[in-house]
């Protein structure tokens, strides 16, 4: 037992001695200054780690806060790296670009409707005269001058000229002008319309609005649809015989034949009437003839040709009356024929025109002598078309 204690004590003393000795090559002991520097460096590293964890890469607006540097007298702190501050960039804003508004195109010649007289559907008697007026505005970019015209375009001209000078002055863009035409109602009953346009100095037609519509007159004709005695010398009516075209009115005694109106004619029974009639004489040759071709009219439903035919007064005539016609300028045809001689009686005739309803027809009053025509004065008394 004592021997063991002795050995243990010896080993313990020897260990203490080894510890206290300074053997060559052994690491120098850590000084107090070294320990302080190490602690400071570890503190800075720890703070930087915390900052790095707080400011993530996807949050650029996060700003690192500078930490105080722990210093100790006689000790130089390690240099620290400044942490950059992330600043949010402003959002780019589009700068408006000034764009000039294009000037709209304005057509050179175009008109606008302002007003009119004689409203559509106004009633007139056959052949009645009237004046139609329109007020139009220059809505184009060109000035109208004395080289511009009003022209008939379509339908019934109603005695209007083919063209009429628009103005003797100028009509600047934005100004208005009044246009008046002296017209005459057609002789045929029914609704009639005439369309007009304007024409520039180069002969180009133009009208109302961008699609250049017409301006028009539209009337209704009532009463007798057509009066042949009243219109025997009207525009478009032509009288002729085998000798050629005859004057209208004609003159009694003309060997070529003649026609004129008598307001108070004498009928074959020698009665004088107060309704007009036409005295006609064929060309004074054997089987001579005379005829009057009238302007085209549109035949309506339910109308008739009516007249009294016969020798004029006590004349010893021997003639054939014929009511002929042409449709749209076609072949001349006969609707009815009446043979008349002097017998002291008159013949009242009526011809149904239903077969011609809706057609544009030229009626023809035809008279032919049976043999010698020297004394074949005859009478179309009150020839007319009516219901």
SS3 43: helix
Report the CATH fold assignment for 227-386: Jelly Rolls (2.60.120)
111-223 with 227-386: one CATH topology?
Answer: no
Sketch the domain layout of the chain as residue ranges: 111-223, 227-386
Rounded Cα–Cα distance for residues 275 and 224 (Å) = 14
Which two tokens mark 231?
């219109």
Nearest Cα to Cα of residue 340 among 364, 307, 299: 307
CATH number given to 111-223: 2.60.40.10
* Contact between 176 and 135 (Cβ < 8 Å): yes
pLDDT by 10s per residue, the chain, length 387 = 555 555 555 555 555 544 554 444 444 444 444 554 555 455 545 455 444 444 444 444 444 444 454 444 544 445 444 555 555 555 555 555 566 666 678 899 999 999 999 999 998 877 789 999 999 999 999 999 999 999 999 999 999 999 999 999 999 999 999 999 999 987 666 789 999 999 999 999 999 999 999 999 999 987 667 899 999 999 999 999 999 999 999 999 999 999 999 999 999 988 888 789 999 999 999 999 999 999 999 898 888 999 999 999 999 999 999 999 999 889 999 999 999 999 998 899 999 999 999 999 999 999 999 999 988 999 999 999 988
Global pTM value: 0.47
CA 82, CA 89: separation in Å to the nearest integer?
21
């Amino acid at each position: 037992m004592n021997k063991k204690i002795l050995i243990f004590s010896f080993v313990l003393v020897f260990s203490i001695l080894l510890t206290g000795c300074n053997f060559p090559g052994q690491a120098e002991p850590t000084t107090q200054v070294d320990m302080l520097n190490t602690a400071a460096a570890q503190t800075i590293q720890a703070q930087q780690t915390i900052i790095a964890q707080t400011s993530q890469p996807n949050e650029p607006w996060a700003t690192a806060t500078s930490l105080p540097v722990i210093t100790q007298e006689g000790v130089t702190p390690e240099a620290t790296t400044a942490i950059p501050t992330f600043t949010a960039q402003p959002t780019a804003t589009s700068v408006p670009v000034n764009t000039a508004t294009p000037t709209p195109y304005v057509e050179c010649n175009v008109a606008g409707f302002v007003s009119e007289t004689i409203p559509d559907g106004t009633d007139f008697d056959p052949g009645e005269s009237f004046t139609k007026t329109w007020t139009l505005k220059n809505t184009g970019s060109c000035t109208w001058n004395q080289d511009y015209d009003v022209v008939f375009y379509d339908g019934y001209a109603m005695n209007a000229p083919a063209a009429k000078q628009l103005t003797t002055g100028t009509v600047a863009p934005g100004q208005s002008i009044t246009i008046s035409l002296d017209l005459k109602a057609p002789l045929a009953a029914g609704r009639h319309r005439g369309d007009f346009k304007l024409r520039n100095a180069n002969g180009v037609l133009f009208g109302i609005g961008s699609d250049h519509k017409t301006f028009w007159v539209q009337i209704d004709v009532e009463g007798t649809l057509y009066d042949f005695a009243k219109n025997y010398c009207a525009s478009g009516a032509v009288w002729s015989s085998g000798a050629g075209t005859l004057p209208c009115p004609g003159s009694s005694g003309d060997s070529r034949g003649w026609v004129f109106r008598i307001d108070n004619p004498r009928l074959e029974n020698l009665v004088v009437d107060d309704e007009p009639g036409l005295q006609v004489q064929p060309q004074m040759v054997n089987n001579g003839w005379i005829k009057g071709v009238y302007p085209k009219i549109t035949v309506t439903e339910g109308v008739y040709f009516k007249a009294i035919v016969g020798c004029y007064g006590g004349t010893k005539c021997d003639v054939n009356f014929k009511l002929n016609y042409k449709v749209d300028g076609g072949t001349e045809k006969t609707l009815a024929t009446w043979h008349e001689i002097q017998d002291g009686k008159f013949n009242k005739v009526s011809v149904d025109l239903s077969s011609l309803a809706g057609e544009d027809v030229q009626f023809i009053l035809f008279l032919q002598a049976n043999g010698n025509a020297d004394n074949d004065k005859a009478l179309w008394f009150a020839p007319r078309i009516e219901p």
